[in-house]
Structures are given as structure tokens and as C-alpha cells.
Structure 1
Amino acid sequence: MKELSNTQFFQVESAPQIQAKDILEIVYKALVEKGYNPVNQIVGYIMSGDPTYITSYNGARSLIMKMERDELVEEMFKTYIEHNKWG
């Protein structure tokens, strides 16, 4: 029998964090597969905060809501700058 006077130690390992670029890629693909214009839908979500701009297909809606909208904008802007060789 275990000693009841001792405190047991329990450690939970944290799940790996998904990055904004991965979320945007998954959401983009889900929107395309469902026949939506992904640029319009993602912009609508970012501007309004309304998650219904994003399809629930393949868990895209719940996934995009895990990241703050400003972090998504930051990732898109950073990628745009790198792609255009500004930085």
C-alpha cells in the first residue's frame, strides 16, 4: 500500500505549439477545398473577429481561433516582406 502521508508528484508535458504559418496554411487549404475565396474569408475574419468567415471543414475554424488575430497579421506581413525582399 502507498504511503498516504507523502505527496505524489504529477507532471504533464505541454503539447507542441502550432505556429501561425501552419494555421494559415491549413485554413487556406480548407477554404479552397470548400470553394471559398480564402483571401476574402481570412481578411473578413481578421477584420471582424467573426469566426463564421472560416469554414469548420477539417477543424479550420477552431484552429484559427487558437491564435490571436494580430499574430496572424504579423505572420502574413512578415512573409510578405520576406517574399518581396524588403528585409
Structure 2
Amino acid sequence: MKDLSNTQFFSVESGPQVQAKDILEAVFQALSEKGYNPVNQIVGYIMSGDPTYITSHNGARSLIMKVERDELVEEMLKVYIQHNGWNE
């Protein structure tokens, strides 16, 4: 019989972190493939939090819900600033 007086330690290694940039790219592609306007759909999702703005095609809806909406906005703003050559 095991010694029940000691606490067992259990460690789970986290999988690779999915980055907002990668998720936005995959969602954009999935929306385009289904004939949606990706900009309008992503904005609708970010503003409302309603995942039905995002197609389930290629797992896009599940993907976008893995990252917080503010992180999506942050990533888009960061890329916009870099694209325009503004200093941070």
C-alpha cells in the first residue's frame, strides 16, 4: 500500500503556445476560403465576442477562441504600427 501521508507531485508540460499572429492568419484564410469578408467578420467577433462571426471551416472558430480578443487587437495594432514605420 502507498504512503498516503505525502502529497504526490504531478507536472504537465504545456504544449506550444499559439500566437495571435498565427491564429489571425489561419482565421483570415478560412474566412476567405468560405467567401466571407475577413476584415468585417474579425471586427464583428472582436467587438461582440460572438464566435459565430467566425466560420468553423478548418477549425477557425476554435482557434480564435484560444486567444483573448484584446490580444488580437494588440497584435493587429502592433503590425499596423510597424507597417507604417511609426516608432513605438
* Same fold flag (TM > 0.5): yes
Quote the Cα distance in structure 2 between the aligned partners of 1:62 and 1:25.
Answer: 14
User: What RMSD, in angstroms, separates the aligned Cα atoms of the two structures?
Assistant: 1.4
Deviates more, 1:63-72 or 1:6-15: 6-15
**TM-superposed deviation, 1:9:** 4.5
1:40 match? 40
**TM-superposed deviation, 1:75:** 0.3
| Structure 2 gap ranges (5+) | none
2:2 match? 4
- The Cα offsets for residues 16-43 of structure 1, whole Å up to 9 and x where unpaired, read as 1100000100000000011111001001
Q: After superposition, where does 1:49-68 map in structure 2 within 5 Å? A: 49-68=49-68
Query: With structure 2 as the length reference, what TM-score do the two structures score?
Result: 0.88
Provide the secondary structure at the position in 2 that maps to 1:24: helix
Runs of 4+ aligned residues of structure 1 deviating over 3 Å after TM superposition are 6-10
How many equivalent residue pairs?
85
